[in-house]
């Protein structure tokens, strides 16, 4: 009876095919992982190990299919010869996983593989390590183990134990995420290696057949490779989506190539080849795209995380700055108020008449301390606004009364600056009976005084006029301060309500400004659900500031 290799292939059971195909794709899985970073030592050794496992699985399937044929004598030798490589390649995979680059890689290779290569010479003498015995009367036979089989087992088991010892050591030494990786890997190794050893090495010895071989293989070797792959992906931060896409496409390509071998005719072969080529090209394009897209997504995620961290940090800094400002401002303002108070009393003659020269100096002290107080108040307001601690007490406010009161004070400032100053309130007959709004009296006073102050400050000569009127429908109160001062460009108008912003060049001439007054004013008006805005025909053409508030019905 002549049996060809094809007859044996035909003999392969469905379970056999599962083993061959499963271990083939497990090797492909590792090839894809390796492909992500071809410089990585561990994935290189794992790929090699997965290839040996594939060969070993195929050899065992071949062995099973050869039972009852003359090939069985060779099949058993091939099987055990290949199986002998499993332990050393596994040892190297684990070693690469748990160790840095070895200083003497070749020496290590020689020490690990050397003994096996010498031992494997005895495979040429059937029966010394392993053999097969046909039994009379039965279609099947049994594996027989020779004198050197004990050395063969000793070699394999020793390497696995050494590998496990390396892993345990590494696990104990490592910390953080690497320790987790080692832990997961160690558990996987111990469980799957025990199953694999029991199934593939010890069960044939005790049962004298290969019936349980597949358990060791399918429940031991393959899960070990697959789970280690996932552990590797997880802890090396490889992208599982890229790997899944590549694996999926590779499987499709292999299936298409396999299809070529079963083409029914030449035309069929041509069509299938064409389809395969198109799919290979388009899928390499697809993989490239997936990679690029994922990379840019990862980059964006990283940037977002960075931004988030930075913004958190900035928030903390900003809060600290506000706290500091608030404390510092309090400490500065109190003594300044005392200075201003006493200089005012001096000027008013509370301590008797003072000579003109002294009066002039005291006046300067008075104005300067006033400026400083405004500035500090602005700083304090900023820190209150930013920390959300600005308190408002809303009640009915008579804007007309407020503006007239204020005008009295402001007139003195305008006089001192040699500016004409006027206040005009629309006749109540036109505007309706009152100018009452619901608001915070002190805060609104602060806004109007700031606007009038600014007009006086930024007007070298000419006049400052204040108007108060109602909108035509009577629903709004409109406050307007108009001056013939330095004016503003459109660009300036666009930014003056922002924090710390002043017109370009203005700080050289008007040194005492901070650029905070209008920001604070805008915040206050916002809380009153009103509007504040500025108008100017341009630089040197004067400015007009408006505030619009809801009139109480
Ligand atoms: P400060 O007056 O302390 O600089 P403000 O917030 O009150 O801060 O004003 C911001 C800027 O707006 C001023 O620096 C100035 O450039 C411009 N500005 C404000 N009021 C006037 C005005 N009446 N005429 C011209 N420019 C003005």
Q: For 292-303, what is each residue's pLDDT tens digit? A: 888 888 888 899
pLDDT at residue 233, as a whole number = 87
Ligand 1 contact, 486 CB (< 6 A): yes
pLDDT at residue 2, as a whole number = 67
Confidence of residue 465 (pLDDT cuts 50, 70, 90): very high
For 165-171, the CB contacts below 8 A with 24+ separation are 166/94, 166/95, 166/98, 166/99, 167/94, 167/97, 167/98, 169/98, 170/98, 170/99
Hey, which of 82-96, 137-151, 239-253 has the most confident mean pLDDT? 82-96
Asked whether residue 289 carries a pLDDT value surpassing 60, the answer given is yes
pLDDT at residue 208, as a whole number = 66
Ligand 1 contact, 542 CB (< 6 A): no
Nearest by Cα to 123 from 69, 81, 169:
81
Q: Based on C-alpha coordinates, what's the Rg of the chain?
A: 45
Consecutive H or E run containing 271: helix 266-348
Asked whether residue 493 carries a pLDDT value surpassing 90, the answer given is yes
H helix intervals, 349-433: 356-387, 399-416, 428-431
Question: What does the DSSP 8-state code read for residue 395?
Answer: E
Ligand 1 contact, 454 CB (< 6 A): yes
**Cα 177 to Cα 343: distance, rounded to the nearest angstrom:** 69
Ligand 1 contact, 115 CB (< 6 A): no
pLDDT at residue 20, as a whole number = 92
pLDDT at residue 389, as a whole number = 81
Ligand 1 contact, 522 CB (< 6 A): no
Q: Indicate which residue's Cα is closest to atom 8 of ligand 1.
A: 515
Q: Indicate which residue's Cα is closest to atom 14 of ligand 1.
A: 502
Could you report the per-residue pLDDT of 330-343, keeping only the tens digit for each? 888 889 999 999 99
**Ligand 1 centre distance from Cα of residue 532 (Å):** 14
Ligand 1 contact, 517 CB (< 6 A): yes
Give every CB contact of residue 272 below 8 A, 6+ residues apart in sequence.
256, 259, 260, 263
Asked whether residue 431 carries a pLDDT value surpassing 60, the answer given is no
- Strand, coil or helix: 22: helix
- Strand, coil or helix: 482: strand
Asked whether residue 507 carries a pLDDT value surpassing 90, the answer given is no
Q: Indicate which residue's Cα is closest to atom 2 of ligand 1.
A: 513
Print burial letters for 51-84: b (CB count within 10 Å at least 16), e (below 16): bbbbbbbbbbbbbbbbbebebbbebbbbbbbbbb
Which phi and psi (to 5°) does residue 99 adopt?
A: -130, 160
pLDDT at residue 138, as a whole number = 67
Confidence of residue 100 (pLDDT cuts 50, 70, 90): low
| Average pLDDT taken over every residue of the chain | 87
Residue for token digits 């002290």? Answer: 365
Q: Indicate which residue's Cα is closest to atom 13 of ligand 1.
A: 502
pLDDT at residue 54, as a whole number = 95
**Cα 512 to Cα 457: distance, rounded to the nearest angstrom:** 10
Q: Indicate which residue's Cα is closest to atom 9 of ligand 1.
A: 515
Ligand 1 contact, 503 CB (< 6 A): yes
- Strand, coil or helix: 425: strand
- Strand, coil or helix: 551: coil
Confidence of residue 495 (pLDDT cuts 50, 70, 90): very high
Give, in degrees to the nearest 5, the angle at Cα 135 between 131 and 141: 50
C-alpha distances in angstroms, 92 versus 88, 97, 118, 316, 465? 6, 8, 19, 51, 91
Hey, which of 35-44, 215-224, 410-419 has the most confident mean pLDDT? 410-419
**Ligand 1 centre distance from Cα of residue 496 (Å):** 7
Which phi and psi (to 5°) does residue 470 adopt?
A: -115, 155
**454, 480, 506, 525: residue to mutate for ligand 1 pocket, most atoms within 8 A of CB:** 454
Ligand 1 contact, 131 CB (< 6 A): no
**Cα 243 to Cα 32: distance, rounded to the nearest angstrom:** 6
**Ligand 1 centre distance from Cα of residue 9 (Å):** 93
Which phi and psi (to 5°) does residue 543 adopt?
A: -135, 160
**Ligand 1 centre distance from Cα of residue 411 (Å):** 19
Least confident of 96-100, 371-375, 504-508, 540-544: 96-100
Q: Which atom, in ligand 1's list, is nearest to the CA of 515?
A: 8
pLDDT at residue 423, as a whole number = 93
Ligand 1 contact, 484 CB (< 6 A): no
**495, 514, 515: residue to mutate for ligand 1 pocket, most atoms within 8 A of CB:** 515
Q: Judging by beta carbons within 10 Å of its beta carbon (0-12, 13-18, 19+), is residue 452 exposed, middle or buried?
A: buried
**513, 540, 547: residue to mutate for ligand 1 pocket, most atoms within 8 A of CB:** 513
Could you report the per-residue pLDDT of 228-285, keeping only the tens digit for each? 999 988 887 777 888 888 888 888 888 888 888 888 888 888 998 998 899 889 988 8
pLDDT at residue 209, as a whole number = 66
**Cα 110 to Cα 98: distance, rounded to the nearest angstrom:** 20
Asked whether residue 447 carries a pLDDT value surpassing 90, the answer given is yes
Give every CB contact of residue 413 below 8 A, 6+ residues apart in sequence.
453, 456
The percent of residues above 90 in pLDDT, for the chain, comes to 36
Confidence of residue 95 (pLDDT cuts 50, 70, 90): confident
**Ligand 1 centre distance from Cα of residue 436 (Å):** 28
Could you report the per-residue pLDDT of 155-197, keeping only the tens digit for each? 988 998 998 898 898 888 888 888 888 899 899 998 998 888 8
pTM: 0.54
**Cα dihedral 325, 329, 330, 332 sign:** positive
**Cα 248 to Cα 244: distance, rounded to the nearest angstrom:** 6
Nearest by Cα to 483 from 427, 413, 409:
413
Ligand 1 contact, 446 CB (< 6 A): no
The residue length of the chain stands at 553
Question: What does the DSSP 8-state code read for residue 66?
Answer: H
**Ligand 1 centre distance from Cα of residue 463 (Å):** 17
Q: Which atom, in ligand 1's list, is nearest to the CA of 519?
A: 6
Q: How far is the first Cα of the chain from the last one, in angstroms, to the nearest whole number?
A: 114
**378, 502, 508: residue to mutate for ligand 1 pocket, most atoms within 8 A of CB:** 502
Ligand 1 contact, 543 CB (< 6 A): yes
Asked whether residue 547 carries a pLDDT value surpassing 90, the answer given is yes
Confidence of residue 422 (pLDDT cuts 50, 70, 90): very high
**Ligand 1 centre distance from Cα of residue 38 (Å):** 64
Q: Check if the beta carbon of residue 483 is closer than 8 Å to that of residue 543.
A: yes
């Amino acid at each position: 009876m002549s049996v060809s290799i094809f007859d044996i292939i035909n003999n392969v059971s469905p379970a056999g095919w599962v083993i061959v195909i499963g271990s083939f794709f497990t090797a492909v899985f590792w090839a894809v992982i390796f492909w992500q970073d071809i410089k990585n030592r561990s994935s290189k050794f794992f790929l090699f190990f997965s290839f040996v496992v594939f060969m070993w699985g195929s050899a065992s399937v071949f062995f099973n299919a050869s039972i009852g044929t003359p090939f069985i004598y060779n099949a058993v030798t091939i099987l055990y010869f290949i199986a002998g490589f499993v332990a050393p390649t596994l040892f190297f995979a684990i070693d690469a996983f748990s160790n840095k680059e070895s200083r003497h890689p070749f020496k290590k290779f020689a020490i690990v593989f050397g003994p096996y290569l010498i031992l494997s010479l005895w495979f040429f003498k059937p029966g010394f390590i392993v053999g097969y015995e046909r039994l009379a009367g039965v279609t099947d036979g049994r594996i027989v183990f020779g004198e050197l089989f004990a050395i063969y087992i000793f070699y394999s088991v020793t390497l696995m134990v050494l590998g496990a010892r390396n892993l345990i050591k590494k696990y104990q030494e490592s910390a953080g995420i690497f320790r987790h990786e080692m832990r997961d890997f160690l558990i996987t190794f111990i469980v799957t290696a025990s199953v694999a050893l029991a199934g593939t090495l010890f069960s044939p010895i005790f049962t004298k057949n290969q019936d349980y071989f597949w358990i060791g293989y399918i429940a031991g070797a393959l899960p070990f490779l697959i789970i280690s792959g996932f552990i590797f992906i997880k802890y090396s931060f490889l992208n599982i989506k890229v790997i899944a896409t590549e694996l999926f496409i590779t499987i499709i390509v292999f299936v298409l190539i396999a299809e070529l071998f079963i083409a029914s005719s030449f035309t069929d072969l041509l069509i299938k080849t064409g389809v395969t080529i198109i799919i290979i090209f388009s899928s390499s394009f697809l993989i490239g795209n997936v990679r690029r897209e994922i990379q840019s997504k990862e980059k964006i995620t990283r940037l977002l995380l960075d931004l988030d961290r930075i913004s958190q940090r900035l928030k903390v800094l900003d809060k600290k700055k506000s706290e500091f400002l608030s404390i510092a401002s309090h400490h500065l303002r109190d003594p300044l108020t005392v200075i201003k108070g006493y200089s005012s009393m001096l000027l008013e003659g509370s301590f008797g008449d003072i000579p003109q020269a002294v009066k002039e100096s005291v006046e300067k002290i008075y104005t300067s301390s006033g400026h400083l107080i405004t500035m500090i108040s602005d700083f304090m307001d900023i820190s209150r606004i930013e920390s959300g601690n600005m308190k408002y007490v809303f009640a009915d406010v008579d804007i007309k009364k407020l503006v007239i009161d204020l005008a009295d004070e402001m007139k003195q400032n305008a006089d001192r600056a040699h500016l004409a100053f006027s206040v005009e309130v629309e006749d109540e007959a036109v505007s309706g009976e009152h100018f009452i709004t619901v608001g915070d009296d002190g805060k609104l006073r602060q806004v109007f005084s700031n606007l009038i102050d600014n007009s006086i400050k930024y007007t070298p000569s000419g006049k400052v006029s204040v108007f108060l009127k109602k909108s035509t429908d009577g629903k709004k109160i409109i406050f307007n301060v108009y001056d013939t001062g330095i004016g503003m460009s459109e660009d300036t108008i666009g930014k003056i309500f922002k924090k710390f912003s002043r017109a370009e060049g203005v700080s050289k001439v008007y040194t005492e400004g901070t650029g905070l007054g209008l920001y604070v004013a805008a915040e206050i008006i916002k809380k009153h659900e009103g509007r504040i805005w500025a108008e100017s025909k341009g630089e040197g053409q004067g400015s007009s500031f408006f505030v619009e508030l809801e009139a109480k019905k």
